[in-house]
Every structure is written in structure tokens, then in C-alpha cells.
Amino acid sequence: MFKIEKLSYPVLIIAHIVLTIFMIAIPFLVKVYFYGITGYFILRALTNQDRGQEVLLASFYLVTLEVFLRMNSAVFFYEMIKYLVIVLLGLGIFFKGFSLRSIPFVFYLLLLIPSIVVASQNIPLGESLRKAVAFNLSGPVCLGVTAIYCFYRKIPRERLDSMLKLGICPLVMTTFYLFLVTPDVRDVVTNTASNFAASGGYGPNQVATVLGIGMFISFARFIIIKNRLHNIIDIILFIAMTYRGWVTFSRGGVITAFLMIAGLLITVIFLKRSEFKFSFLPKLGVLAVGLLLAWGYTSLATNGMIDKRYANQDAAGRAKDDLSTGRTELILIELQAFFENPIAGIGAGQVKYYRAQKDGIVAASHNETSRLLSEHGSIGILSIIVLIITPLLYRITNRGNIYFYPFLIFWIATINHSAMRIAAPAFIYGFSLLYVTYPTKKVNKIEDPTPVLEPATSA
């Protein structure tokens, strides 16, 4: 079967831009495309001998497509992509098995069960236990299944890079869509609050989060890939995605992207190939100039509001008391629930009802860590320990994945400002656990030539 990732990078980008234009003109095509591409990937997974990497590629593409689909109401229900990832990787586990070393993540999934039992005892009358549990546990279950599937799973470095190449395409669609359908930024930015109009009418937090993924992939390709045309495309994408991320006025996704970039640079600095370290310095200079110009343009377009937003000021230039834009209060309420129920918590999906009793506001959590504590109690602490310690111990003996720290940074930063509203943090956490292999001898020149960077022992 034809593999779309085999197409050249420029062709892939142009094809997805053209698709976006058609989808804007005929909105129904978004659903057609979603179900068509899903069927295509499932058919590939069922008919290809290398089912393991096929389901991984399919899942990553759907994960980066998720926000675009939600913006266009193309999914039956908001958690659909998480369930598709669970099904796809479940198929992969069925066909290809999983490493016994991933037992800690099986244990992590089992730790989620007590919260369901507790929730069944605490659910308010008239509320749906199924919906409450499904909304709050779909993300953690998606993470657990992805981690089980990815842990110690071998993948060639060039295959991982081809997944990133294809995975950025839905993010190009999202970015191009935002440029075409959103109002002029000058007309909709009147204060320093997160801006739904500039985010395509969807949640600025989630939009900025996926744009941050695109920023990182385009940056990584820009410094690693040695191809002038591809480098030009990537720097344009990086600047465009950064600008659209800024004007959402949601800082979390953009800051996370720059943290991922820092993690990648630090990793590369410790690689043995010293000549490579210096070869990308001129590229960083070009990128820095581009970012400065983009920030200047964004500042002018928003009448200086973007400067105030990142300086934690309101529209009048006064410093805000709460840097977290209200999240601290939510976290404190969730911690209070934990202290009142320290053993097993208040049950999956119950924190919003608890919050309604305390302050009269029904709102979902923005912080997955505090939600785990409030809804799972001490069991939640054990879950967090498993999720943090396991990959760090794995890294001690397996340093071939240069994206390990960026992917882990994305997970931990995202769940602490946006919880697990979308599938991305759960899935990308799993990407950090892949066992990346390198060619042992010289191979023929391929598209997107990537230097083979052997990791140093001190990385």
C-alpha cells in the first residue's frame, strides 16, 4: 500500500495546505478526511507486516490532527482521538506484544481502578458516573497503553524522523487554518486574556499546546536536517507557528515549546559529534533574528498587549497578582480535597463537584498532578512516582533517543498547565520511551538526510 510519508517534505506540506483550503470552502470535507485517513491508517496496520510502527505512525498523525478536528466539530465526541490511540496501540500490542520491562506501566493502569470504585460511592444524584470517569481517565489510560506499547520498543532513527515529518503536517493545517479563518488580530485583541477569536474559536490553551509541538518539530528538523529547501520551509513554519501561538495569548504551550527546544539543544551539546554542534550555530543565529522580527510584528499587531501578557500585566500595564491566571486557586482546592481524603481520594471525576460545593463553580481541572492527588489520594502519588522514575531509570542505560528530554518535558509541562484535555501529552510521553537504533554501516543517501549522531555516555 502507498505510504504517504514517503512523499517529499515540500509535497507533503503543500498537499496539506491545499487540503485545508478545500476544507475551509467545504467544511463537510473535514469529517470526510478524518474518517478517510483513519480508515487508511487502520488498513495499513492490518495489511503491513510491520504493524508495530504502522500503528505508532497512525496514532501520532491522529494526535497532531486532534485539535484541528475539534475546531471543526469533526469528531463524534471530544475524547474520540484518545480512544482511537488506545485501540490502535492495543492492536499493536495484540500483534507485536510488549516488553516485560513495561510492567511498571501495567501497575500504573491498575492504580487507576480504586478511583472508579470511590467515584461510584460519591457521584452526585443525577450525574453520570460513566461520563465523569471516562472524561477524567481517558487521558491516563491513553498514557498507560502508549507507555506499555512504546517502552523498549526498537525503532530506527530515520523511521522516527519520518514520523515527525508526517506528524507536523496536521499542525501545518491548523496553522494555515488560523491564518485564513480568524479575524484580524488588531480587531480582536483588546486585553491580555487568552483569546478565543485568535484561536479559531476553540480553547487557546489546547491550540497553543499543539502549535508548540509544531514549533519543536520544525525547529528540530531545521537544525538537524541538511537540506536547504527543507530548512527554508521549517524556519517559515517555526516562525508562523510561534506567531500563532503568541496571539492565542495562552503562554503554556509556547513556553513548553521553548523548554523542549532547550532540552534538545542541551542533549545535542553532549553528543560526540563536536563538528555537528558548531555547524548548527549559524542556523540558531538566523532563527534568533527571525524570532525577534516576529515578536516585533506581534507587538505592533496587538498594540503591545503581547508584551504585557508575557510580563504578567493587565491591559493597563498593572502587574497581576496571580501569574497562573486563576489556576493556583483551583490547585489549592484540589489539595484541600486530598488532605481531607488522603488514602484513596474523592474518586475519578469528582473534583469538579467538590469545587462546586466549595466555591460554587463547576470547572474541570487544569493540573493533572493536583487532580491525581485529589481524586486518587496517596495512590495518585504512587502513580506520579511511577511515571517520573521509570523513564529516568530507563535513560541511564538507553541514551539513543535524542528527543527523550524534550518529549518528557512536553508531558510534564503540559499536564501541569492544561491537564490531559487532549491526547498529545499522553502519547508524546510514550515517544520518550522508544528504543532508538542507528545504522551500523553507511547507507545510501535518502530523502531528508539526517546525520547519524551517536549519543555520548554523559548525555
Task: Inform me whether the pLDDT recorded for 453 exceeds 50.
Answer: no
At 310-361, the pLDDT tens digits run 988 888 777 776 555 567 777 888 888 899 989 989 988 888 888 878 776 6
At 413-437, the pLDDT tens digits run 999 988 888 999 999 999 999 999 9
Reading the block at residue 152, the C-alpha cell is 523498549
Question: What local confidence, expressed as pLDDT, does residue 213 receive?
Answer: 97
What is the C-alpha separation between 393 and 407, in angstroms, rounded? 16
Which of 8-14's residues contact partners 24+ apart within 8 Å by CB, and which partners? 8/447, 9/165, 9/227, 9/230, 9/233, 9/447, 9/448, 10/229, 10/230, 10/233, 12/165, 12/166, 12/169, 13/169, 13/172, 13/233, 13/237
Closest CA to 91 of 58, 137, 138: 58
Residue 370: how many other CB atoms lie within 10 Å: 23
Closest CA to 4 of 160, 164, 161, 166: 166
Q: In angstroms, how far apart are the furthest CA atoms of the chain?
A: 66
The amino acid sitting at 193 is A
CB 364 within 8 A of CB 326: no
Question: What local confidence, expressed as pLDDT, does residue 446 receive?
Answer: 47
At 285-302, the pLDDT tens digits run 989 999 999 999 999 999
Residue 130: how many other CB atoms lie within 10 Å: 10
Closest CA to 58 of 18, 93, 92: 92
> What backbone phi and psi angles, to 5 degrees, belong to 388?
-90, -45
- Is the full-model pTM beyond 0.85? yes
> What backbone phi and psi angles, to 5 degrees, belong to 437?
-110, 160
At 187-230, the pLDDT tens digits run 899 888 889 999 998 989 999 999 999 999 999 999 988 899 99
Reading the block at residue 59, the C-alpha cell is 496514532
Tell me the C-alpha to C-alpha distance, in Å, between residue 21 and each of 28, 162, 426. Answer: 12, 25, 30
- Domain residues of the chain, as ranges? 4-437
Reading the block at residue 210, the C-alpha cell is 499543539
SS3 content of the chain, % helix, strand, coil (to 5): 70, 0, 30
At 125-179, the pLDDT tens digits run 666 777 777 888 999 999 999 999 999 999 999 999 999 999 999 999 999 999 9
Task: Inform me whether the pLDDT recorded for 459 exceeds 50.
Answer: no
> Which of 37-51, 259-273, 299-313, 324-338 has the weakest average pLDDT?
324-338
